[in-house]
Structure 1
Amino acid sequence: MEHRFIKNRDIVLFSFQAWESDIAFNFKDMAYELARHNRVLFVNRALDRNSILKNAFDNKPRQRRPPGKGYRHLQQIQEEFWLLNPRSVLESINWSPSQRLFDYFNRINNRRLAEEINRAIDLLSFSDIIFINDNDFFRGVYQKELVPCDRHIFYIRDYLTIQPFFKKYGPGLEKKMFEIADMVVANSSYLAEYAKKWNRNSYDIGQGCHLENFVVENLPQPRDLASIPKPIIGYCGAVTSMRLDSEVIEHIATSLPECSVVLVGPTDEYFDKKRFQNLKNIYLLGGKQPKEIPDYVYHFDICINPQLVNQLTIGNYPRKIDEYLAAGKPVVATMTDAMEMFGKYTFLCKNKEDYVQQIKTIFSNKDLLSDAEIMRRRNFALDHTWENSIGLLGDAFYQEEAITHAV
């Protein structure tokens, strides 16, 4: 499908996550793709007082320090692509006992950031700006009125208001953000429909993935997998009680004692304590570097995504499914709204019994492990590129422009 890409524009990207994060994130990938045809200013997440105190003794080399001597305020990443590291230290305000007090300090935070953005815009001679806010309804809610722009776009990629930190003030600010945005774009159909409650100009632009490392053959076997008996039923991702259904994992392990269930990813307190002590065929291997994940997936026999179905997970785009499929692996996953698009290429489950049945089906049917099936799964995943996602953003943008000019 051909797309109409946004080209030759000045774009400000207001990021929710820190540029220097060790974890890959959508907005950074989108920035590089947009910078192919536009001038881009990426506004890094500003430090706040709590985070500075929390990280005061953190010696991670990539950890950004408070502004001081040698602080790199405006960096050029590549031609026509700049990174703005705000000097402002923001107030930590989620403790506020009242909405009025929260709004007062939040406007101060927004204004501090806007002043720095406007100075950078002037320095770079940006004009007719497209401003894209990355899911930040706290620090970004007043930016439309403070930063002159031609179009203000809100990008939603997570259902943040269900998380404890955002529960108090998040819902109202997210609703306001939807209402004031010229358009909303989402990385899943579920989140696009959710946004349409407040802004009818809401579009699903899908999700891109970097899958080149998952299509490589003959990857080395990680050391901590070497002693684990095959066949291996594996999962890579956050091992947390908010996202994973421990009952499904336990049921797979008890029903298929001849299999090893391997979970690769950082664990929360619940899984740290639980540790499946009575089940010898469940292995928690802990967090790994992103570059190591393809090695683990390559040596899995079947990949699973035993999600809990809740407001946090139901609409999230499952990037790991693309990674599994790009590796050619058969995938068994929980049925959610976001998983519907993967239905023809995965084995979807409504309960723990379905998981065991689907796994047995795969092991008993050699055709599902054939080269033809591997390529069918792989080709589907490889269509989910950032170029395609940014193309869908362009299609939505120009559709809205046409409507605006017609009125």
Structure 2
Amino acid sequence: MNFIFVSLQRINTDRESTSTSLAKELAKSYNVLYVNPPVDRKAWWLKSDDKYVNQQITDIKTGKAGLVRSAEKLWVLTPKHIIESINWIPFTPVFSLFNRLNNNRFAREIKAAAEQIGFEDYIIVNDKDIFRSYYLKEILRPKLYIYLDRDYTLGFAYWRKHGSSLEPKLMKKSDLIVCNSLDFTKNAKRYNPNSFYIGNGCDLSIFDPDKKWEMPEELRIIQKPIIGYVGALNSQRLDINLIAGIAKQLSNCSFVFIGPEDENFKASGLHQISNIFFIEKKHTQIIPGYISHFDVCINPQLINEITIGNFPLKIIEYLAMGKPVVATVTNTMTEVFSDHCYLAVTAEEFVSAIEQALANDNELHHLERIRFSKNYSWENVSNIFINAIKEVSNDET
């Protein structure tokens, strides 16, 4: 089997995603072409906040963009051609006409790369690229077209505008859908009976609890116990008021947040609370060094349509390091993690759970968490993924 991944996420950045990790795992056994997102006209003319987008623009201008071989069975295509910025168009039927043109432009580069590699047939895996890859099944005619549903993007205005009507249609015409949460799987089955839960994964070679991790310099000046969070500080996903309430009640603890802040976080009163500390985004490779020195890990999510059914990969990363975890009650946390994490809703419940986690942690619990996390290796996830393909296609390759 040959795979072509199209995604919202670039590969080889400072943070992995479901699609990048799955592609790298599959490339241990199968040929994989990973296609980075193309640059749109708006990003071309206006400087992006994303350094990887800016690097791609530089590579296009200097002729470095294109097809490269990243590993024995893994190729990466960085598209050279700009696609048009069309999400401003108010009417979805009109948007779709221009979107077809963007898809054709995108598809030509993918087709040329596939021919250069020697892919005679292939399976396309579309990771939430609702717009740019909407017509790739019709244009490229792959052996199978798989939709990877791993986040509720329709909770964001940009995607909801046209995606609320286009994503269900994309799901219906896909040959199968694979989902990283049980909630997403239930929703996908409304549109396509060939919908499968594959879970999420963690690179357990990076999140290695047996490695001796030196305490990062930023943490050395912070008083213990340290209650930590790693990930994007997005006010549509995390509850700023909840965080403030917990930190004020646990004034004897230090709260460390590692990741990029959105504008609401930057402007919030959290920066005036003396026991809250913010550290800039770190590369995945060194994140375990920070988690290893947390006493408790938290995920204080807002409860909304974006978070209620998502599968937070950070929970696996925390558990893989053996750390006690306190997280907001969501469907996934209840269905998958309730036996291995403390769950809470209010600030008072979080405070009580954190105090329990600090008081009751021991080596046995540490080992149980690590053992549980091994169920979520990318090897296991990729095997489930391949089995779903075989079930639909009856392909025993």
Question: If the TM-score is normalised by the length of the shorter chain, which range does it land in?
Answer: over 0.9
Corresponding position: 1:85 with 2:78: yes
Task: Report the Cα distance in structure 2 between the residues aligned to 1:125 and 1:246, rounded to whole angstroms.
Answer: 50
SS for the counterpart of 1:64 is helix
**1:282 correspondence with 2:276:** yes
TM-score norm. by structure 2 comes to 0.92
Distance 2:145 2:53 in 1: 35
> Which residue of 215, 218, 230 corresponds with 1:224?
218
Q: Which residue of 2 aligns with 1:6?
A: none
Q: Which AA in structure 2 matches 1:345?
A: H
1:351 is aligned to 346
Residue 53 of structure 1 aligns with which residue?
45
Cross-structure match for 1:362: 357
Amino acid at match of 1:374: H
Task: Please say if residues 13 and 52 of structure 2, whose CA atoms lie closer than 8 Å, have aligned partners that are also in contact.
Answer: no
Q: Percent identity?
A: 38
1:136 matches 2:129: yes
- Aligned counterpart in structure 2 of residue 261 of structure 1, from 233, 246, 255: 255
**Structure 1's 318 and 127: CA in aligned 2 closer, same or farther, altered over 3 A?**
same
Amino acid paired to 1:334: T
Structure 2 portions without partners, runs of 5+:
none
Residue 372 (structure 2) aligns with: 380
Aligned partner of 2:381 in structure 1 is: 389
Residue 251 to residue 97, structure 1, CA distance change in 2 (3 Å): closer
Q: Structure 1 unaligned runs (5+)?
A: 1-8
1:161 matched to 2:126: no
| Corresponding residue SS for 1:210 | coil
Give the C-alpha shift of residue 86 in structure 1: 2.1
1:10 is matched with 2
Cα deviation 1:10-49 (Å, max 9, x = unaligned) = 2222222223533322212211211222222222211111
Confirm or deny: 8 A CA contact 1:20 1:62 kept in the other structure.
no
Give the stretch that moved more between structures: 133-142 or 46-55: 46-55
Deviates more, 1:303-312 or 1:20-29: 20-29
Q: State the 1:259 CA deviation.
A: 1.5
Count of equivalent residues: 393
* Counterpart-to-counterpart distance in 1, 2:244 and 2:391: 48
SS at match of 2:386: helix
Q: Structure 1 residue 123: deviation in Å?
A: 3.0
Partner residue in 2 for 1:342: 337
Question: What is the aligned partner in structure 1 of residue 363 from structure 2?
Answer: 371
Aligned partner of 1:360: which letter?
E
Alignment RMSD (CA, Å) = 2.2
Q: Which amino acid aligns with 2:11?
A: W
Residues 1:177 and 2:170 aligned together = yes
Q: CA, structure 1 residues 324+80, in 2 after alignment: closer, same or farther (shift >3 Å)?
A: closer
Structure 1 residue 59 displacement after superposition: 7.5
Q: Deviations over 1:138-190 (max 9, x none)?
A: 01111111002221111111111111211211111111110100100011111
Question: Which residue does 2:110 correspond to in 1?
Answer: 117
Structure 2 counterpart of 1:399:
391
Which deviates more from structure 2 when the two are superposed, residues 96-105 or residues 273-282? 273-282
Report the alpha carbon displacement of residue 125 of structure 1 after superposing the two structures with TM. Answer: 3.1
Query: Residues 14 and 282 of structure 2 are in contact (CA less than 8 Å); yes or no, is this contact kept in structure 1?
Result: no
Distance 2:48 2:275 in 1: 40
1:94 to 87, 98, 102: 87
Q: 2:56·2:65 contact (CA, 8 Å) conserved in 1?
A: no
Per the TM alignment, residue 61 of structure 1 is displaced from its structure 2 partner at its CA by 10
Q: 2:192 aligns with which of 186, 196, 199?
A: 199
Counterpart Cα distance in 1 of 2:319 and 2:217: 23
Aligned residues of 1:21 and 1:62 also touching (Cα < 8 A): no
Query: Aligned in 2, Cα 1:164/1:56: closer, same or farther, shift over 3 Å?
Result: closer
